[in-house]
Chain A
Amino acid sequence: MNLSHRTLGTAALTLSLLLAGCSSTKLDEAPVENRDLSGGGAAAGAGAAGGAGSGTAQSGVTTVDLSKSGSGGAATGLLAQRVVYFDFDSFVVKDEFRPMLEAHAKVLSANRSKRMALEGHTDERGGREYNLALGQKRAEAVLRTLVLLGVQDGQLEAVSFGEERLAVQGSDEAAHAKNRRVELRDK
């Protein structure tokens, strides 16, 4: 995605607005602090050009909306099976998924320009960052299996969604088991 280096010209303007002047004025006998949030460090009050709409409010937050740009990566169905499931707290690729991985390995080996992402996932229990790392470990396990089956390392990328993209909602073991997985996606 090339959203990164879009610049808005307002940045420089806004920096100068933070914590503007603290000059003292008298308000009766009490000590007075004058805190002007609106001027660019210039004198408060009188003579500021424009109305309430001018200037940049220091409380401002600008929304960036990614749903207006397309997000990539939908897999095209090459082989029917694309999910490897894992036991609780385990990173072992079980034998039952071997034929499926061999089929994918064959396709990838036959076409070295083909690339695949291996997306690791966990169930919903535990911390988001730790689960991200656990999902990554599962994805790496599938990656190593595919490399042993002849796929080149550079064709594969192991990534993780942790618990962020559950396949099944629910907090029973049946749901957890469906969520502990690695999904194979064409890139």
Chain B
Amino acid sequence: MAVDHSQVSPYSVKRSPRTETLHASWHRRRFVGALAASAALPAAAQFRVEITGIGGTQIPVAIATFRDETRAPVPVAEVVRADLQRSGLFRIVDVPAGLDESSRINIAEWRGRGADALAVGSVMRLADGRFDVRFKLWDLVKGEELLGQSHVALPADLRLVAHRIADSIYQNLTGERGVFATRIAYVTKAGSRFQLHVTDADGEGGQIALASPDPIISPAWSPNGRELAYVSFESQKAVVWVQDVQSGQRRMLANFRGSNSAPAWSPDGRDLALTLSRDAVAQIYLMSRDGGAPRRLTQSQAIDTEPAFTPDGRQIYFVSDRGGGPQIYRMPVAGGNAERVSFSGSYNISPAISPDGRTLAYITRQGGAFKVMVQELAGGAPVAITDTNDDESPSFAPNSRLLVYTSRTAGRDVLMTSTLDGRIKSRLLTTGADMREPAWGPFGR
């Protein structure tokens, strides 16, 4: 396996024989050993992403500009390059112009360029207006083709095609599933105007799912990625809605007396846990996705809120101030006692469980600062992964490798992504609006 050692790594990473697919655990070890924040990588100007820290070892890849991509509405290879670069796991090597998927690749010549892999392709407009995007990935170390794909898509889906190609390259070279083709929902506030946005995971391709003069909080993706549950204050109180993202069709899910908030989908998509104040102070209930009578899950005199299911659907993590200040607890969905999970600090909120079930992320207050904490559930101390002071709302990427969260820089709320060790961060930028309440969507768009 050829690994670029141009940057210093504190761990000695041995070159191992190249195997068909790079083994995931090996990759993770190498990744953990990566050196933090050694250089700022200038992201391509048209991609509004900033890298603030980079791993020490990166796979060098060459992504040729796809033939005729300048005639398409999306610069496909450019999107692929930016995706791979932003992950921090790849270094982009320059490619001469004029290559496509049918080009003969001179492996001997390419070895001298220092790339482990080469992607080439083309974008062809079909007679019916759709585009056929073809690409090939070459393993330059073994001198063979790794894969070839043809994607036929509407113009509006070309960006999605580019992200899927990036995911294919990522998976082939790292052995793990990429999240470039996934989506992130978040809320912006500009003046007194609130908008629920859905963007690609790179912050591009943004579209508005809901625009409102009243606040919107707590968006949550259904497990199939088709619907968003959220809290809207449009009727001058907190009501939980469910909206089909593609059609815009929406329905009121919970509008009981008092406040209705904090929706969380069960992993099978059949139920939602949510917080209602209809019987007492805020308590957690379970409701069918189709509505009906809610079943009360917590029975305390204190505030219980922010439910989050474990991936097996059996347990719910939540926040309760039954012990005084807010702390994180967990309880079986089927019923039974809650046990406290967070012990350090007097204010711990907003729990998120990684889709692989291994990691808990939450927000802790330290003095006057609020920080993203990450804790291995199998045991281990909570670790702060940011050096910012106003972090909110952590949400895991579906591959459990990244988190998106809100932070505050220069008086503005921004969305950040970070690896779980905090070493590689990127910032998703917008123009002129505060960004908040991010929710990373599932695989499988």
A residues with CB within 8 A of B: 1, 3-8, 10-11, 14-15, 18-19, 25, 27-39, 44-45, 48-67, 71-73, 117, 119, 125-130, 132-134, 136-137, 140, 157-162, 164-165, 185
How many Å lie between the Cα of A157 and that of B239 in the bound state?
Answer: 14
Apart from the given pairs A56-B246, A160-B258, 11 other A-B contacts in the complex at a CB distance below 8 Å: A4-B241, A4-B252, A28-B145, A37-B157, A52-B128, A71-B236, A72-B236, A117-B236, A119-B237, A127-B370, A129-B275
Contact B215 A164 (CB under 8 A): yes
Contact B246 A53 (CB under 8 A): no
Contact B217 A128 (CB under 8 A): yes
How many Å lie between the Cα of A16 and that of B249 in the bound state?
Answer: 17
Contact B257 A157 (CB under 8 A): yes
Contact of A30 among B145, B157, B160, B248 (CB under 8 A): B145
B-side contacts of A56, CB under 8 Å: 246
Contact of B259 among A4, A32, A37, A132 (CB under 8 A): A132
Contact B210 A66 (CB under 8 A): yes
B-side contacts of A129, CB under 8 Å: 217-218, 261-262, 275, 305-306, 319, 349-350
Contact A67 B193 (CB under 8 A): yes
- Given A45-B126, A71-B213, A130-B326 in contact, is the A35-B149 Cβ separation under 8 Å? yes
A-side contacts of B259, CB under 8 Å: 132-133, 136, 159-160
In chain B, positions 249-280 with a C-beta closer than 8 Å to chain A are 249-252, 257-259, 261-262, 275, 277
Contact B145 A5 (CB under 8 A): no
Contact of B215 among A11, A25, A52, A161 (CB under 8 A): A161
Number of B positions contacting A (CB below 8 A): 86
Contact B238 A30 (CB under 8 A): no
B-side contacts of A140, CB under 8 Å: 277, 281
In chain B, positions 89-144 with a C-beta closer than 8 Å to chain A are 101-102, 126, 128-130, 132, 134, 136
Contact A29 B145 (CB under 8 A): yes
Name the residue of chain B whose CB is nearest to the CB of A135.
B259
Name the residue of chain A whose CB is nearest to the CB of B149.
A33
B361 an interface residue at 8 Å Cβ cutoff?
no
17 A–B contact pairs at CB < 8 A?
A4-B241, A8-B248, A28-B102, A33-B147, A36-B153, A45-B152, A48-B130, A52-B130, A63-B208, A64-B211, A66-B211, A126-B365, A130-B326, A132-B259, A140-B277, A159-B258, A160-B259
Within the complex, what minimum Cβ distance (angstroms) separates A92 from chain B? 15
Contact B156 A60 (CB under 8 A): yes
Contact B129 A66 (CB under 8 A): no
